[in-house]
Amino acid sequence: MDAANETSEGTPFTLLGLTTNPGQQWPLFVLFLVLYVAGILGNGLIVAVIRASPTLHAPMYFLPAHLSFADLCFTSITLPKILAHLMAHDRPISLAGCLTQMYFFFALGVTDSCLLAAVAYDCYVAIRHPVCYATRMSRAVCTALVGTAWLVSHVHSLLHILIMAHLSFCASHQAPHFFCDHQPLLRLSCSNTRHIQLVIFTEGAAVGAIAAVVLQLSTCGSHLAMVGLFYGTVTAVYFQPMSRSEAERGRVASVTYTVVTPMLNPVIYSLRNRVIFKVFIVCLHFTFFF
């Protein structure tokens, strides 16, 4: 093993977080704590309500339940770390810990993206082709969509982690981010990262194509806004040349797709559904009054 790799394994990375200003840390801590609790409650209740109610076991509720579950896991990969970092003076993380966080972040992020596309397609078929909805969106079709989303996301994530694990980090180990992401780590690497950048920009073309299709399938303004917000910020973060100024903007944009959209998805895709909302209200009634 060369000296560069020995240095990278022996020296932990330091995540600089969102801010080092003590006056901003407490307000940000309270803000992100509220967002995290809202996301956990919203997505968790959607999963619990759909699972507990026999009337919601139809295929049309299958995809929103999995989207909420993916959002629940997705936010739990980054937000607890953000909260801890806002209260800590040093933010060290080992290479193994960084790659582990990165693996689950990529896997859940891609799963969320695929399920967002699947839910948009489900809404499109339900509104534009209601007569043949039961055939097009049967339980088997929905299961295949969910299974494909989880499989593709984990294969994609494993590919990225295997590539990242072979990089050498011989420069500064201070990453200007609040979680382990591949763009900040690539800036710290002294290896040739052109092949990784090629993979990233190739994926960017695929993401752009998916986003274009989903935008065409979106049947109302709220869906359109959510899809645009998610894919727009992802594109702004990952599919651009690496520079210090872009890194600062990327860190802010990352908050949108890691925190904001997972919190809003239950409202946009589940609680606006009248059947889910009625069951949700009944569950709240029994929870608080019995």
Q: How many domains are there within the chain? A: 1
In this structure, is residue 289 part of a structural domain?
A: no
Kindly give the interhelix angle for 274-289 and 22-52, rounded to the nearest 10 degrees. Answer: 100
pLDDT tens track for 11-52: 677 777 777 677 778 888 888 899 898 888 888 888 888 887
**Residue 153: which residues within 8 A CB-CB, separation 6 or more?**
106, 107, 108, 109, 110, 111, 114
Residue 6 pLDDT greater than 70, yes or no: no
pLDDT tens track for 185-213: 777 777 777 777 777 777 766 777 777 77
Residue 239 pLDDT greater than 90, yes or no: no
pLDDT tens track for 132-179: 888 888 889 999 999 999 998 898 888 888 888 887 777 667 777 778
- Please state, in angstroms and rounded to a whole number, the distance separating the CA atoms of residues 149 and 133: 21
- Please state, in angstroms and rounded to a whole number, the distance separating the CA atoms of residues 261 and 277: 19
Residue 108 pLDDT greater than 80, yes or no: yes
In this structure, is residue 265 part of a structural domain?
A: yes
How confident is the prediction for the chain on average, in pLDDT? Answer: 76
In this structure, is residue 33 part of a structural domain?
A: yes
> Which residue range forms the structural domain that includes residue 20?
3-284
Burial class (CB in 10 A: 0-12, 13-18, 19+), 14: middle
pLDDT tens track for 73-83: 998 888 888 88
pLDDT at 69: 92
Sort residue 240 into left (φ over 0), alpha (ψ -120 to 50) or beta.
Answer: beta
- Please state, in angstroms and rounded to a whole number, the distance separating the CA atoms of residues 8 and 180: 15
- Please state, in angstroms and rounded to a whole number, the distance separating the CA atoms of residues 146 and 76: 20
pLDDT at 190: 78
In this structure, is residue 258 part of a structural domain?
A: yes
Q: CATH number for the domain including 279? A: 1.20.1070.10
pLDDT at 104: 92
In this structure, is residue 290 part of a structural domain?
A: no
Burial class (CB in 10 A: 0-12, 13-18, 19+), 216: exposed
Mean pLDDT along residues 90-119: 84
